C-alpha cells in the first residue's frame, strides 16, 4: 500500500474528523508534516479556526492561525484524503449507557466520502469491539466498498490530556493497532511522523480499545478511594490533605487526591467497560462502586456547604453562594460532564441562589449544555458562602483577605465566620481558620 510514504511526500492527504480537544491538536500537529483536511460539522467552530481562534485552548491561537490545515465543514472535501482519523466524542446517555450516535454519524460521513485504498483510524474512546462490529459495517454500507479489500481500518486511542501543557500529542507514546499487519505498519508510520515519544503496536484493535478504556477506569477507581477516605476522615474530624501528605512520604504511595471527577473521559469510560462486561454476563464489582462514589461527590459537597452555613447562622433558603469554577478540570475550558453542575443543582434544591465565576469556561457550551452562565468576580459582594470547586491557576492567585469583600456584610454579630468551601485545597487551612473562615475541603 505504502500510503504513509505518499503522505510524507504530500502526494496523499490526511483528514481529521472532529475538531475538539483531541482532533484540533491532531490536525495542527499533522499539518506541520503533511497536507491535512480538518473537518467538523460545526461550521461556526470551523470559522473561528479559520480566523485563528482556538476555542479548545489546546493548540493555541497562534498555532491555529499559522497552521496549513484546511479547515472545512464541507464533507465532500474528505474525498481528497486517503488517511482518515475519526476523533469525535463518545458520551453516555442519561441512564449511563454508551452513546455511540456521534461516532456512528461520523462513520456515515466518512463512508459517504471513502475512496479505494484508504485507511480509517478511530481515536474515539469505545468499548472493545465497536470499531470492528459497529463502525466497519457502517463504512462498508455507506461507501459500497469492502473492508480488507478496498480499505483498511485501525484504532489508536487518544491520550490528549486537556489543559496539560506538558503531556502533549508529540510527547505521549501512541498506541496504534490495525486490522492486519499491513494496516498496522502503515498506521504506525503515519503517527510516527508527529509523535516523538514513539508508537506502541498493540496486538489487535480490541486490545487497543480495551487499553484505552481501562486507563481512565483505573484513575477513576483510585480517586474514588480518595473520595471515600475524605468522607471517612471528615466524620473523624481529620484533615484528609494532611493525611495524604503524611502517607505520601512512602516511596510507593500513589499520589491521588479527592475531587469532583467528571469530564468526557474519566467520568465516562468506566461505563463503557461495564456496559460491555454486562453483555458477557459479568456485573462489575469494583468499577461501578468507584463510579458511584465519584458521581455522588457533588451532592456530598453541597451538603457539607449547607452544614457549614447553618453553623454560621445563615438562613439557607434564599441565601447566595458563589461557585468558583465550572469546568471539569483546572485550566481547561471544557464543561462536558462536569460534576460541578451536580453541586450547583443540589444547592438549588435547597433554594440557594448560585453565582458562577469561571474566566476559563467555554461560555457557549455552558449555555447550550446546561443553560448556565457565569458572572464576573467583581460583581460578587453579597455571598453567604464561597465554593472553590476547580483549581484554576487564576484562583490560586487570590488572597484570603481579598475574599472578604465577596461576602454579605451587614454588621451582624451572629455571623460566626465566613463559609469557605475549598474542594481542591487551594488555600491553607490553618491560615483560613485563623482569619475567621469556616473552612472545609475534601
* In the chain, where the domains are located: 3-202, 214-294, 296-440
Of 172, 292, 162, the closest CA to residue 225 belongs to 292
Q: What is the pLDDT of residues 355-406, one digit of tens each?
A: 999 999 989 889 999 999 999 999 999 999 999 999 999 999 999 999 999 9
- Kindly tell me if the per-residue pLDDT of 419 is higher than 70: yes
Model confidence pLDDT, tens digit, residues 306-357? 999 999 999 999 999 999 999 998 998 889 889 999 999 999 999 999 999 9
- State residue 413's pLDDT score: 47
Predicted confidence band of residue 94 (pLDDT cuts 50, 70, 90): confident
In this prediction, residue 416 carries a pLDDT of: 66
pLDDT confidence of residue 164: 57
- The total number of residues shown for the chain amounts to 442
**Of 135, 147, 265, 332, which is the active-site residue?**
265
The pLDDT value recorded for residue 411 is 53
Q: Please tell me the predicted confidence (pLDDT) of residue 265.
A: 75
| Residue 332 known to be catalytic | no
What pairing do the DSSP bridges indicate for beta strands 81-86 and 320-324?
A: unpaired
Asked if residue 321 lies in contact with residue 354, where contact means CB atoms within 8 angstroms, the answer is yes
Pairwise pLDDT comparison (238 vs 265), residue with the higher score: 238
Residue-wise pLDDT for 242-259, tens only, equals 999 999 999 999 999 999
Of 381, 376, 385, which Cα lies nearest the Cα of 344? 385
Judge whether 3-202 and 296-440 match in fold.
Answer: yes
Q: How far is CA 170 from CA 166, 178, 259, in A?
A: 10, 21, 29
The whole-model pTM stands at 0.90
Distance CA 270, CA 127 (A): 9
Q: Given a cut of 60, is residue 49 above it in pLDDT?
A: yes
Report the top-level CATH class of 214-294.
mainly alpha
Own/partner contacts of 2-7, CB < 8 Å, gap of 24 or more, are 2/186, 3/82, 3/83, 3/117, 3/119, 3/186, 3/190, 4/186, 4/189, 4/190, 4/193, 5/189, 6/82, 7/34, 7/35, 7/82, 7/83, 7/190, 7/193
Q: What is the C-alpha separation between 162 and 412, in angstroms, rounded?
A: 44
Alpha-carbon span 169 to 157, nearest angstrom? 12
Return the CATH number of the domain spanning residue range 296-440: 3.40.50.720
C-alpha to C-alpha distance for 261 and 340, rounded to whole angstroms? 9
Q: Which one is the CATH code of 3-202: 3.40.50.2000, 3.40.50.2020, 3.40.50.720, 2.60.120.10?
A: 3.40.50.720
Q: Which residues pair with 16 in a beta bridge?
A: 38, 85
Provide the pLDDT confidence category of residue 410 given band limits of 50, 70 and 90.
Answer: low
Amino acid at each position: 500500500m505504502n500510503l504513509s510514504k505518499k503522505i510524507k511526500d504530500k502526494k496523499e492527504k490526511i483528514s481529521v474528523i472532529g475538531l475538539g480537544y483531541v482532533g484540533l491538536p491532531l490536525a495542527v500537529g499533522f499539518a506541520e508534516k503533511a497536507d491535512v483536511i480538518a473537518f467538523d460539522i460545526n461550521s461556526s467552530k470551523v470559522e473561528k479556526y479559520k480566523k485563528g481562534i482556538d476555542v479548545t485552548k489546546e493548540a493555541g491561537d497562534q498555532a491555529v492561525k499559522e497552521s496549513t490545515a484546511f479547515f472545512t465543514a464541507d464533507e465532500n472535501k474528505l474525498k481528497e484524503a486517503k488517511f482518515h482519523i475519526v476523533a469525535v466524542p463518545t458520551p453516555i446517555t442519561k441512564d449511563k449507557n454508551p452513546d455511540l450516535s456521534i461516532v456512528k454519524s461520523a462513520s456515515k460521513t466518512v463512508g459517504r466520502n471513502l475512496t479505494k485504498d484508504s485507511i480509517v483510524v478511530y481515536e474515539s474512546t469505545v468499548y472493545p469491539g465497536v470499531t470492528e462490529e459497529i463502525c466497519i459495517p457502517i463504512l462498508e454500507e455507506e461507501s459500497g466498498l469492502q473492508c480488507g479489500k478496498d480499505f483498511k481500518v485501525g484504532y489508536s486511542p487518544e491520550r490528549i490530556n486537556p489543559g496539560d501543557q506538558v503531556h502533549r500529542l508529540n510527547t505521549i507514546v501512541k498506541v496504534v493497532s490495525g486490522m492486519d499487519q499491513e494496516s498496522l505498519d502503515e498506521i504506525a508510520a503515519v503517527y510516527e511522523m508527529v509523535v516523538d515519544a514513539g508508537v506502541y503496536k498493540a496486538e489487535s484493535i480490541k486490545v487497543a480499545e480495551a487499553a484505552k478504556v481501562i486507563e481512565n477506569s483505573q484513575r477513576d477507581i483510585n480517586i474514588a478511594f480518595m473520595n471515600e477516605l475524605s468522607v471517612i476522615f471528615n466524620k473523624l474530624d481529620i484533615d484528609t490533605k494532611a493525611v495524604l501528605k503524611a502517607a505520601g512520604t512512602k516511596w510507593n504511595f500513589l499520589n491521588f487526591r479527592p475531587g469532583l471527577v467528571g469530564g468526557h473521559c474519566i467520568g465516562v469510560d468506566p461505563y463503557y467497560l461495564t456496559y460491555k462486561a454486562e453483555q458477557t454476563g459479568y456485573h462489575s464489582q469494583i468499577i461501578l462502586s468507584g463510579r458511584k462514589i465519584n458521581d455522588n461527590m457533588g451532592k456530598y459537597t453541597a451538603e457539607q456547604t449547607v452544614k457549614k452555613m447553618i453553623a454560621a447562622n445563615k438562613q439557607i433558603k434564599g441565601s447566595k453562594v458563589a461557585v468558583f469554577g465550572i469546568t471539569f478540570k483546572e485550566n481547561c475550558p471544557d464543561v462536558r460532564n462536569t460534576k460541578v453542575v451536580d453541586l450547583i443543582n443540589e444547592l438549588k434544591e435547597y433554594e440557594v441562589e448560585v453565582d458562577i465565576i469561571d474566566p476559563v469556561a467555554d461560555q457557549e457550551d455552558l449555555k447550550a449544555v446546561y443553560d448556565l452562565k457565569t458572572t464576573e468576580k467583581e460583581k460578587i459582594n453579597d455571598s453567604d458562602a464561597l465554593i472553590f470547586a476547580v483549581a484554576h491557576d487564576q484562583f490560586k492567585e487570590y488572597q484570603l483577605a481579598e475574599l472578604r469583600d465577596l461576602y454579605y456584610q451587614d454588621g451582624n454579630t451572629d455571623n460566626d465566620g465566613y463559609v469557605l468551601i475549598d474542594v481542591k485545597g487551594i488555600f491553607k487551612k490553618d491560615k483560613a481558620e485563623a482569619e475567621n473562615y469556616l473552612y472545609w475541603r475534601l
